[in-house]
Amino acid sequence: MTKSSSFTERNISFDEYKKEIIQDYKTVVLSRECSIIGRREVFLGKGKFGIFGDGKELPQIVLNRFFKNGDFRSGYYRDQTLLMAQGLLSPDNFFAALYAHTDLKYEPMSGGRQMGAHFLTRNINEKGEWLNLMKQKNHSSDVSPTGSQMPRLVGLAYASKIYRKLNIKKSNYFTNDGNEIAWGTIGNASTSEGMFYEAINAAGVLQIPMITSVWDDEYGISVSNELQTTKSSISEVLSGFERTTDKKGFEILSVNGWDYPSLVKTYSKAEKLARINHIPVIIHVKELTQPLGHSSSGSHERYKSSSRLKWEKEYDCILKFKQWILTNNISDNKTLNEIDKEAIKIAKKSKIESWNNYQNPIKAELQKFNGKLSDILKSNPGLTFVSEAKEIINKFESIGYKEIVSVGRSLLADINPNIDESIINLKKIFK
């Protein structure tokens, strides 16, 4: 039986080990279901854009095992599974972000101001006081220009080094003797950028606790590795950065993203090197897939060959994880299928509730607007453009503030302010 090294090394019982794995399985399938439904929601016009973590679930669930309180992540939009595993992103939060719900109660990352899948945690409370960063898992706010997470990653890892070097004892909110790792994530295509190489070089010189995972699904939108990465392999390209017996450098590790026990071994090794010895590590996570394509703005069926698409189905990391669980008698088909079904139920329920939560305040505005239009029609029943506007606005099945405002604005063009005072009031609403 290929058990994960963590099972024997950590001295836990097989039952405890099984429990952990089933929990991991639950998280990855729920994350995938959110992605699947999220993409559909965009096509139904309920979200403007969607970019999801499908195909990258398994390495993230493993990374999570080694991510400790006090650690930092500087990553990108694929990392939803990691945040879900850490209890920092619920399915409700996920859908609220997709709809761009502006209420932080529902969308705690940016209140709908950032694109979906841009994650963060806070360093200060509402009063502006520092939080104890050693008691939480920290995520520096994701940004959209790919590659720009890298310079920040160097800074975060360098902070650990400085804290350890200076032996600062009074910074217990910010460090525990520099034992904190800065975890980076980046897509294979984004490693072609200058910022990536500059950051890697700096980390190699500084010898800082920085673990960079490259999620390699062999494409950068439609551009394949052979068209943008020398030798089609970022770990081969970076081999000159590798440490030797007499020269400092990076530990470079490669692992297939669908292979759970190998992922555990790889991340376990990386964590020790970085946390204890401050040796920077690159983990090239290969053979990943993108089952839903790059984002809601395209379909990968247009640019991937049929053999690639077939391979992606067979090597889907969740499918492979399921097969591994079954082969190793960790669980049975019936239990796993029930978990699959439960995940669909949770994600669907969450989608419906999040949509209603998003729509309710808008519907309240719509009611007010309708009331104002009715008042106008009472005193001026002949204003057909107002009754038409009322009809239009009430026909929308789902409505955003944008629709209310645009119908309101279109009314302004027809209004003669001399007709009635209530029309002047209406004009004020949309000014």
Ligand X SMILES: Cc1ncc(C[n+]2csc(CCOP(=O)(O)OP(=O)(O)O)c2C)c(N)n1
Applying CB under 6 A, the residues found at the interface with ligand X are 78, 144-147, 187-190, 215, 217, 219-221, 294
Burial 370-403 (b: 16+ CB within 10 A, else e): eebbeebbeeeeebeebeebbeebeeeeebbeee
Helical residues (DSSP H) of 219-332, grouped into ranges: 234-237, 260-277, 306-314, 317-327
In the complex, minimum distance from the CB of residue 250 to ligand X, in angstroms, rounded to a whole number: 20
**CB contact at 8 A, 35 and 292:** yes
Of 160 and 256, nearer to ligand X (C-beta) is 256
Of 30 and 288, nearer to ligand X (C-beta) is 288
In the complex, minimum distance from the CB of residue 117 to ligand X, in angstroms, rounded to a whole number: 10
Of 217 and 271, nearer to ligand X (C-beta) is 217
Of 175 and 235, nearer to ligand X (C-beta) is 235
Q: Which amino acid is at 380?
A: N
In the complex, minimum distance from the CB of residue 317 to ligand X, in angstroms, rounded to a whole number: 14
In the complex, minimum distance from the CB of residue 294 to ligand X, in angstroms, rounded to a whole number: 5
Of 223 and 429, nearer to ligand X (C-beta) is 223
In the complex, minimum distance from the CB of residue 225 to ligand X, in angstroms, rounded to a whole number: 9
Of 184 and 187, nearer to ligand X (C-beta) is 187
In the complex, minimum distance from the CB of residue 422 to ligand X, in angstroms, rounded to a whole number: 48
Give CA–CA dist 140/119, Å, rounded. Answer: 8
Of 174 and 303, nearer to ligand X (C-beta) is 303
**CB contact at 8 A, 99 and 46:** yes
Residue nearest to ligand X (CB): 187
Do the strands 210-215 and 72-74 form a parallel or antiparallel pair, or are they unpaired?
A: unpaired
**CB contact at 8 A, 278 and 208:** yes
Measured between its terminal Cα atoms, the distance across the chain in Å is 70
In the complex, minimum distance from the CB of residue 28 to ligand X, in angstroms, rounded to a whole number: 17
Per the listing, tokens 């993230």 go with 60
User: How does DSSP classify residue 144?
Assistant: S
Of 28 and 415, nearer to ligand X (C-beta) is 28
In the complex, minimum distance from the CB of residue 191 to ligand X, in angstroms, rounded to a whole number: 7
Of 298 and 381, nearer to ligand X (C-beta) is 298
User: How does DSSP classify residue 170?
Assistant: S
Give CA–CA dist 371/353, Å, rounded. Answer: 27
In the complex, minimum distance from the CB of residue 182 to ligand X, in angstroms, rounded to a whole number: 19
**CB contact at 8 A, 339 and 332:** no
Element (H, E) at 193: none
Residues in the chain: 431
Give CA–CA dist 315/408, Å, rounded. Answer: 52
* Other Cβ atoms closer than 10 A to 362: 16
In the complex, minimum distance from the CB of residue 241 to ligand X, in angstroms, rounded to a whole number: 19
Of 144 and 367, nearer to ligand X (C-beta) is 144
Tokens of 126: 């509402």
β-bridge partners, 186 = 214
Tokens of 156: 């975060």
**CB contact at 8 A, 134 and 175:** yes
Burial 34-65 (b: 16+ CB within 10 A, else e): bbbbbbebbeeebbeebbbbbbbbbbbbbbbb
